[in-house]
Each structure stands twice: as C-alpha cells, then as structure tokens.
Structure 1
Amino acid sequence: MAKIGEQGNRLAITLDGGEFTIPAPRGKLAANAPLAKLTWFKSGGPAELLFEPEDADDLAAFLAALPEWVPVMGLGLGSNMIVRDGGVPGVVVRLGKHFSEAEVLGDNTLRFGGGTPGVLASSCARNAGVAGLEFLKSIPGTVGGFVRMNGGAYGREVKDVLTSCGVVLRDGSRKTLALADMGYTYRHSDLPEGAIVVSATMRGEAGEPDAIQAEMDRITEAREASQPLRTKTGGSTFKNPEGTSAWKLVDEAGCRGLVIGDAQVSEKHTNFLINRGEATSADIEMLGEEVRRRVKEHSGITLEWEIRRVGKFGATEVVPAL
C-alpha cells in the first residue's frame, strides 16, 4: 500500500519500489486512488499515486523531483484503456479543468489544453469558423491522448491537423515539439514513456459554423447508429490491418456476441468489447485475447491491440496472450 506523510515542508512517500521525499505540489496528490470510476470500462485496480497538477509548472516541478525509478502514466477520460485489476504502479497523472481550454490564434489555428475533451475542442473550432477538426468530436478522450496516439476517425487523424504540441517530459523538462518530431504512424507516436502532453496547436481551414455543425451532426449520427455508445466500453479495441477492417475479421471469425465472464464482444459493432455489468479487467482482456486467437486461426491475420492495457494483473490472474 502506498503511503503519503508529511516531513516538514516535504512529503514522505512510500511505494512498493521504495521510499522518497519530494516538495509538496500545489495540485492534488492521493495514494491508492481508485481508477475504475475514471475509466469507460469501469473496471480495474487503483493507482499507487494519482496526481492532478494545478498547471504545467506544477507538473514539471513534480516530475523533476520524482525519483527516476518511479513510473509515470497519463490519464485522460479513461477511454481506449484497460486498467488491470492489480492497479497501476507509480504515478498516474490526470489533467483536470485547468488544462481544459481553447484559444483562437488566428489563421484557422487554435491551441488546446491537453485535458480538453474532443467534444469541446471541435465545438470551439466550430465557433471560430475553423473546419477540419469536426472528427475530434467522435474520438472519446482528451487532446493529450489524441496527440499521443495519433487519434483519428472518419477519414482524418491528428497528424492531419497538428502543427505543434507542448509536453512535459518524465524528467520535468518542457519541450515544444513540431509535427515532424512526433514520428506519427497509424495510431502511434514516438513520444517517450512518461511524457505528458499539456497543450496542442491545430490548424484547419476556413468554414461556415452552420456547415461545420452539420458535419459534426453527421458524425454523431453515424456513431450512434453503429457503435455501442451507451454501454461500458473502451472504444475501438483493435487496429485496422492494412486493407481490411478489424470488425470484419472479428465477425468472420464468429466472435460477435462472444462472452467471457461478464465481458462481451458487442453485437452492434464487433470491434468493441463491453462490460455487461460486473466484468473484471481480466475478463475484458482475456476476451480480447480469445478474439485475437480466433481471428488468427480463421484468417491468418494477427490483430494488434488499439486499446492500451496498463498496470499489473491481480494476484491470481493469468491472461494468456496470442
């Protein structure tokens, strides 16, 4: 169990990996913080430490003081993520309301805080008459997560609109990275582990707010018609292989509706896994691995996870991987 105590004007912290002291941050720091309520699947164990920084300076100072051996992970809205039942060691950084903002810079360009939800980002672009960012509304999560994973939907990706981003690296240093620095490929960037995206500048093209809203409405209707949005889910589970769709491969392998524990392959969209109520994260991950096994057996194609799986397995869990 992690512990936080006071030692003069510093905090004395005990984690599984050791003990250390750091200056008290201005933001909120909690030990053994439940993460299930912060994720879309509503499952998984706690974070040893959960840190919600006051601002980017607070985050940079905190990470600079943190011993190198302590792992750091960012958390947005908890979509596209399985938090394993044993919890997440080290520090989970969650960017709160102080990082949920948008600024219009001109030249069809906006700067967003890393904690800005996609719905808010696309709406701010619409209000500014900037088209091309409508797809952000359809991605469950925050700008920081989109930038890290090159999030995309409906024919567009972050690499199509990003001009630069501000990051705080694991050692507490701050950098501004250009698009060319990101090493983007399909649902991947070269951002190092522990780096937290605190801002992103994106450029679209001039558009009429009414036309932009119409495109946002079209995307919303398409999502609601095809995806199990009103369930405990994590978004698209597997990356689309070259030349085909993950959902099609899953369906052809006979996995529609497949159940393990209280986890199920969605009947509505077979690239979505859902928690029917009481699924553990192990149930969900085992279901995903069974789907991968059946698809490989049926088509010869090995599906790659798009959903991040983080943390430790529970003490008695074994999740066989393909």
Structure 2
Amino acid sequence: MNLHQFRFVQEAVRRNLNLTEAAKALHTSQPGVSKAIIELEEELGIEIFARHGKRLKRVTEPGQHVLKSIELILREVGNLKRIGEQFSAQDSGTLSIATTHTQARYVLPEKVAALRTAFPKVNISLHQGAPDQVARMLIDEVAEIGIATESLAAYAELVTLPCYEWQHMLVLPSEHPLAQQAHITLEDVAKEPLITYHPSFTGRTKIDAAFANHQLAPRVALEAIDSDVIKTYVRLGLGVGIAAEMAVQDVLDDCAQHGGKGGLVARPAGHLFGTNVARVAFKRSAYLRNFVYTFAELLSKNLSRRRIAAAMAGTALDLEP
C-alpha cells in the first residue's frame, strides 16, 4: 500500500464517489484511480466501496474504518511536511488564511501588513468564502487558519478560540428621522425597509433571532455579503442598513471629522441585537508553524502561543476572553 492509494480513496469520498471528478482533482486518469483503489482493497482483503457494475455506490462498514485511518495518516504526512518546512526555512513559506469578506476587507489588512513586516519572506494566500466554506477549507487543509463569526465552532474537526467581540451598527442617511432620535428601539427598526447581510454572514443569525424573540417581522429589502454594498444602497435611500461595526469606521470617522457630510451616520445597535464573537479556527491535530502563531497573536492579545497550543492539545478548548 502507498500514499497515492490513500489519496485516491480520500478524494473519491470527497467527490461523492465520482472517480472521474476525483481523477481530475488529482491530475491523473480515472482508470488509474480505479485500479489503485482495487489494489488497496485486495491488499487489505476487504471492500472499501460497494459497487454497482464499475460505479462506486457507497462506503462499506469496514471502509468507514479504513477512511478514518487514511485521514489520520494523511494528516500526519501533512504535519511532517510542515515540520520540515518549519526547520528548513523558519522565516519563509506561505500562510494560507480562510475568512469572510468582512474580515478580509476590514480586519485583516493591518494584521497581514504587520506579519509581512515581521516575516518578509512569508507569502500570504487569502481565501474568501462563507463561514461554512471557511470551515471546509480548514478541514481540507486548503488553509491553516480561519477567521469568521458564524459556524466555525460547530465543526468537531476544528479547534476554535474567540478572537474579539463586536456589535452591529445601524447605518442611516444623515437626514433620516431615526438619525435624529436619541433612543432607537427594535420596533422602530422593524418598521423600516432593511438592508443587511445574507443569512449565513456576519452575525445575521443574531439579527433574525432578536426580531423573532420580540415577535417582529421586519422587511429585508436587500441582502448582501459586502458591507460596502450595504452602505451604498443606504446612501441611495433604499432603507436602513445593519452592518458590522468594523465595516462602518469610515462613516464614524466622517461624522467625527465632518459632521456626516458623507451622507451617512452610524448608531450602535448592540442593545438591539447583542454582541458577536469573531473566532479563529485551526484543524484539530494540525502542526502550526511559527508564523501562524505570530499571526494569531497579531489578531488578538488573547491568542497567545501558549493558549493556542493548549487548545490544540485538547486541554483548553474554546475559552472565552
């Protein structure tokens, strides 16, 4: 048996038992993948896959056990490679980050710049997606570190730690009646057409839960994954925006310096929707290189190397700040 056979089996499962797609992903031929899997089955003396003709139909019960062992073996092979990279070139390599648009656009630029200053030979590969996609990229080892607000803690394959807390902000045209109101209630907001995030992004679940808990049914006029899009449509008068506070710093700065001449104002909405926690995540049992720890420390003072190492060892998971 060999690593190629293990990778072929793993990729076949990832591609829903479609050997043609598995072969494309591994840059090889479909007959080669099929032959390698059969040879592994013959060597083990079991069927990993049940078949209908030449097509794979499902993973057998012994195949489930084989898959767990293969995942463990390939994970440790990946760790061996990272250990070699760490000690052969401790200050160079590529840091792959999986995150959402909001984090990439508003939170990470200064942190990435600081890491490049500390490790000028380290390249950054930034992958953006929905929170569930961020989790999947970590599990599939496309990325080493993930940052998102939603979903990450729901995956048993990941170790997650809180990074920072944030709240939503109401984004309003400067002349909007709510902009002149000292105290804004959830009922006030529910009467307005709303412009906010798609349900899977940037704390949207907290927004929906707040309205539902008060038996309110607001009208969401427009959903987006980009905070700049939300602000653009608010500026056009299409409704009241609900955006992450890190995404409206430009609005707050404009109000402070120019009295809102940019056409928008922002009001805190933590009392309406509660606070959110952005989390960092790593694949469980992964080997983390020095600059991964450094980047995590740049994200938050709570993410010390000692704390992350303890969480990865299973002795201090998911501690709150």
Indicate the structure with greater helix content.
2
Indicate the structure with greater strand content.
1
Interval of TM-score (by shorter of Structure 1 and Structure 2) = under 0.3
Specify which structure has the bigger relative contact order, considering alpha-carbon pairs within 8 angstroms and separated by 6 or more residues: 2
The TM-score normalised by the length of structure 2 is 0.23
Larger Rg: 2
